Amino acid sequence: MNLEEAVRELGGLLEPTGDEKKNGWSPETLTLYHAERQKSSFDRIMNPPPVKPSKTNNSMKWSYRAE
């Protein structure tokens, strides 16, 4: 994602707060960061990972042999 796409996605540049400025964030880097986080959150919500079933149709129990 480039800066133009991030600005279009978020509707403008984000201004860093005082603490963010002290930590080295610029309006460009902060906008890119927030746009990427928003995109990844949306992808995670819309395409969740498959859920492993807690129960299956196989009734076989694991048997352990004493050696």
Q: What is the pLDDT of residues 16-50, one digit of tens each?
A: 999 999 999 999 999 999 999 999 999 888 888 88
Residue 19, in any domain of the structure: yes
Residue 56, in any domain of the structure: no
Domain tally, the chain = 1
In the structure, what pLDDT confidence band is assigned to residue 51 with cuts at 50, 70 and 90?
A: confident
Answer whether 32's CB lies under 8 Å from 14's CB: no
Domain that holds residue 14: 3-46
Residue 51, in any domain of the structure: no
Residue 52, in any domain of the structure: no
d(CA 42, CA 11): 17
Show Cβ contacts of residue 9 under 8 Å, excluding neighbours closer than 6 positions.
Answer: 1, 35, 38, 39
